[in-house]
Every structure is written in C-alpha cells, then in structure tokens.
Amino acid sequence: MTKSYTPILVGVAQYTQPKHTTSPLDPLGLMAHVCRAALADAGGVKLKELIDTLYVVNLFQWTYRDAPGMLCNVLGISPERSYYTPIGGNTPQLLVHKAARDLASGRRRAVLLTGAEAIYSLRRSLKGDIVLDWTPSESPERIDGDDPPGVNHFEASYDLYLPSYVYPIFETAIRASYGRSPEQHREYMGRLWEHFSLIASKNSHAWSREKLSAQDIAEVTSDNRYIGYPYTKSMNANINVDQSAALILTTQETAQECGIDPSRWVYPLGGADFHDIWNFSQRPRLDNSPAIRNAAQVALDQAELTLNEIDVFDLYSCFPSAVEIARAEIGIAEDDPRELSVTGGLAFFGGAGNNYSMHAIASVVERIRHDRSLKAMVTANGWYITKHSIGIYGGTPPKTPWKDSDGSSIQRAISDEALPEPVEKADGSLCVEGYVVRHDRHGQPEKGTVIGRLTDGKRALAHIDAKPGTLLKMEEVELVGRTGEVRFDQGVMRNLVRFPEFS
C-alpha cells in the first residue's frame, strides 16, 4: 500500500511596501523579500535545502523572461521543478491544492509559492515622482499550463474585457433578482463594503487603512465617481498597490525531521477547483455560480465539516457581486454574524493582481496559529466569476488524507449547460438581463451595454443607443426586465438597442 503523508503549511509571509519609499523593490525583489521571511517564519533551517518545487504566480504588469529561474538565483535554491502560472485570481488557492496532493503522495517534499505586484511604484515612476532601477521587464519565455483568454470575440467586440465593466453586469442581474431599487441596492452595497473597510482599517498589511462608512462608499462624488455603473470607485478592486506574499508547504513528517515547531503547522483540510461556463455571455444566469456551489460542498465534504463549523471566511472580493454570488452559493445567510474577509478585501486591503488570495491564506494561517480550534474557508476567483478554487484550513490533521481526485463529472455537468453563442446580428425585441454604463474620468456616462434575450430565447449583446443625459436617467431606474428594440448597425458593426420610454 502506498504511504500517504500529511501536507501542512509551515511558513507564511506577506509584505506591503511603504507608499513613499524612494527606492522601491520591483516584483522580483518583493518576492525574494517574502520568500526569505516565509523561510524564517517556518523556523526550520534545513527546509530551504529541501524545496523541490517553486510556483510563481503570473505577474500582472512588470514581467520577466524567467521569473522562477531569476528568483531561484536570488534565493540560492535549486528546486527540481519551477513553474510560472497562467492568469487567474484563483491561482494561489489552486496551487495549495496541487501542492497538498503532491506532498501527500510523496511526489514532493517542500513547495514554495509566491507572487507580487509593484504597480503603485511603477505608476509613480511614470508620473516622474521617482526613478526606478529595476531588473528590465521582458515577456515571459513560458507559461506553464493552459492560459485561454477570459472572453470570446463577441464579448471583446463590445469592450467587455475589463473586470470593471463586466462585474457590473452581474451586479444589475443580482439587484433585479432581489427586487431592490437602484437606490436601495446602492445603499446595500455600501453597507456590505463598509464591513470590509473596517477589517482593512485594523490590518497592518492593508494598503488603505482609512475606515469608510457605507455612505462614503455608496455616495457618488467627484472623488468617488462611477467607473462602471452601478459601482463607485470605492467598490472596485484596487490594483494600484505594492504587495507580495509567500507560502511554504511540506509534510508533517518532513517538518518533524527539520525540527519545525508544531505550533507553526496549519493543515489544509479540503479543497476543490471548478470553473463556470467559460464565457459569461453563454451562462444561463448571470447571478449565480454552480462552480462555487459545487467547490464549496466538495471541499466541506473532504474536510468532513459542515458550513456551520467554519469560523472564518475570506470570500474573494474584487467587486460586491463576487461576494454576493459566493455567499449565496455557499449558503451563508445575509444576517450571518461571521465576517466574510480576513484581510479587508481587494478594494481596501489591496488587489495585488493574481496574488490576492495568497495574502488571504497567509492571514488565515496566522489566525489559526493563535487559535488552533478555528476552521477557515478561503474562496478564490479568476476572470469573471469563471475559475474558482475553495480551500478549508484548520489546526488539527484532516480525517481524510489528501489524494488525487476526479471531479470531471461535476465539471462536465456545469459546462454542459452552456447556451449557444450570442446572436451577432440581432433584430427585434431584446429583454435586458444585465447591463453596465461606463463612465469617463470626470464621472460622466459615455457608453451603456446590455446583455439580454431575444423573443426566441437566444442571447444578444448590444450597446445602448442613447446620449449621456439619457444614460443618466437610465441609472435612476431598473433596466433589467425591460424590453428594447435591437438592430444591427452597419456603421458601427454592433447591435444597438433603444428603449422607447427614454426617447
């Protein structure tokens, strides 16, 4: 019988670079900083020599030809395998699952995960505030794994590729499903995000520690303009940060050999990875996530826990809709007293590109070390409520050993519900299912886009045929459920929809 080992997290570190440093570290330097700190946190002097696998999370803005190789040289490590991951905010949690399976099977002995962003410092340099002496940026020579685009050509042709313009579509669909008016829902989002701001205000690693009220977050002002209606600036993930994090996983058996204090050990208890229908325009509904629902249940089943036994959550929080969908799919009631974040979320703690969830995992590990009775759930999300990884952590060994598992039947059932591609040249009546109104840097509406159903049930995308003043009026009412007249315009080569009541 093959021996099974018990995977554990033994070293964690996270770092938020001071905003006004005159010589900021680049992403490579930030990763080196937290990797050394994670090794020190583990406290096992032999562990460094045993690291046989390195994962570097995909860098958002300042990339390198060979980030894993360069980091190995800086750290003085020689892992047998090193990887540079595809794009996706789900990646850190996904990597914990991969590492846990490999460690449990004996295929690996010690795994190092890290990622970083230094977008704030890069923007400072572009403004001329500082001069950077960074390792030159180059396109990566390889990405290890499939890295398909997050949108299809239909979605891209309507400029629906920036998350700040896609997540509002989900939000309007959610709002309509709850029957709230636009004003009621704006206040609701403000109250939801107020809790995240409060958590960030107490977190020494948070990028923004200013405590904002629900009104501060929801009220539209010159400093808190709409970006993609119905989201104000404060409701958007903040990528303008300098942050890094690292995790080290090994096995309980190796940790004992290395003399690592058991008080440092935290156990992955369960985890699952699924994706929703890849292109959001082909999902039957815009306000749910079968992938999150299934991943949460599979992870809980593996951990042999119920949802009521989870003490601590970190729900991926790039935008309010991501939290609202995850909370509903997992089964967390709106009046549940348990907090939904350990960090303060991407809007306030900081959204360090693809690496945010590594900070959440590090924070969870620190919580469990202080109270080993705690059970924690971390959710991670990539693209547009597309890729999902959910992990559960605790201070005692899991009852069920980690092993390679097959979730293909669940994934197949999710993907088989995909609708046909949207109608490219639509004509007739279009009933709105979700929409967004883009605003310029001065807060003025410049373009509205809807997704909806034609009378035959087929999907179509369309830009709203209306002037800015009319778009402002539309923001005061609920467009979801309204029917407009759609046509394909040869001049712009796009579908345009007009609502007679706003003519």
**Got the DSSP string for 66-123?**
THHHHHHHHHT---SEEEEPPS-TTHHHHHHHHHHHHHHHTS-SEEEEEEEEEHHHHH
Strand partners, 9: 249, 266
All residues at 6 or more sequence positions from 358 whose CB lies less than 8 Å from its CB, including other chains: 14, 57, 92, 113, 114, 115, 245, 246, 247
Residue 413 and residue 301 in contact, taking contact as beta carbons nearer than 8 Å: no
Provide the 3-class DSSP secondary structure of residue 28. helix
CA 265 to the chain's CA centroid: 26
Cβ contacts of residue 79 below 8 Å, gap of 6+? 51, 52, 53, 54, 72, 112
Q: Characterise 383 by phi-psi region: left (phi > 0), alpha (psi -120 to 50), beta (else).
A: left
Residue 2 confidence (pLDDT): 67
What 3-state DSSP class applies to 317? coil
Write down the pLDDT at residue 503: 73
Q: Considering Cα of 58, then 281, then 238, then 382, what sign does the dihedral take? A: negative
Six-digit token string for 297: 């249940």
Q: Return phi, psi of residue 159, to 5°.
A: 60, 30
| Both tokens assigned to 80 | 């047998």
H helices present in 179-312, as ranges: 182-201, 214-218, 252-258, 290-303
Average pLDDT over residues 29-34: 98
For residue range 424-453, list pLDDT tens digits in order.
999 999 999 999 999 999 999 999 999 999
Domain 428-502 bears CATH identifier 2.40.50.840: yes
Distance CA 244, CA 239 (A): 13
Name the token pair of 481.
């459920």
**Does the pLDDT of residue 1 top 60, yes or no?**
no
Burial 131-169 (b: 16+ CB within 10 A, else e): eeebbeeeebeeebeeeeebbbebbebbbbeebbbbbbb
- Calpha distance 259→322 (Å, rounded): 41
Q: Specify the DSSP class assigned to residue 266.
A: B
| Mean pLDDT to the nearest integer, 321-337 | 97
How many other CB atoms are there within 10 angstroms of residue 37's CB atom?
18
The number of angstroms, rounded, from the C-alpha of 483 to the middle of its chain's C-alpha atoms is 33
* Region 279-285 average pLDDT: 98
Q: In 3D, which of 230, 233, 242 has the Cα closest to residue 212?
A: 233
Q: What confidence tier does 404 reach under pLDDT thresholds 50, 70, 90?
A: confident
Token pair for 326: 């995850």
Summarize pLDDT for 59-111 with one digit per residue, the tens: 999 999 999 999 999 999 999 999 999 999 999 999 999 999 999 999 999 99
Q: What is the average pLDDT across 286-299?
A: 98
Q: Which residue has the tokens 């107020």?
A: 194
Q: Is it the case that residue 39 has pLDDT exceeding 80?
A: yes
Distance CA 161, CA 430 (A): 22
How much is the pTM? 0.97
pLDDT grade, residue 164 (50/70/90)? very high
**Using one digit for the tens of pLDDT, what is the confidence trace for 371-401?**
999 999 999 999 999 999 999 999 999 988 8
**By the 8 A CB rule, do 107 and 4 touch?**
no
Which residue in the block uniquely carries the two structure tokens 């400072």?
124
Q: How confident is the model at residue 403 (pLDDT cuts 50, 70, 90)?
A: confident
What percent of the chain clears pLDDT 90, i.e. is strictly above it? Answer: 96
Name every residue whose Cβ is closer than 8 Å to that of residue 100 and which is 6 or more positions away in sequence: 7, 249, 268, 271, 402
88: left (phi over 0), alpha (psi -120 to 50) or beta: left
Grade residue 4 by pLDDT with cuts at 50, 70 and 90: confident
Q: What is the pLDDT of residue 479?
A: 97
Looking at every residue in the chain, the average pLDDT score rounds to: 97
Q: How confident is the model at residue 44 (pLDDT cuts 50, 70, 90)?
A: confident
User: Which pLDDT value is given to residue 400?
Assistant: 86
Stretch 185-214: mean pLDDT = 98
Tens of pLDDT, residues 121-136: 999 999 999 999 999 9
In the chain, domain spans: 7-132+144-148+239-415, 428-502
- For the segment 164-170, the average pLDDT, to the nearest whole number, is 98
Q: If DSSP codes are grouped into helix, strand and coil, which group holds residue 438?
A: strand
Q: Which of 281, 165, 173 is nearest to 231 (CA)?
A: 165
CATH 3.40.47.10 matches 7-132+144-148+239-415: yes
Side chain identity at 481, as an amino acid letter?
G
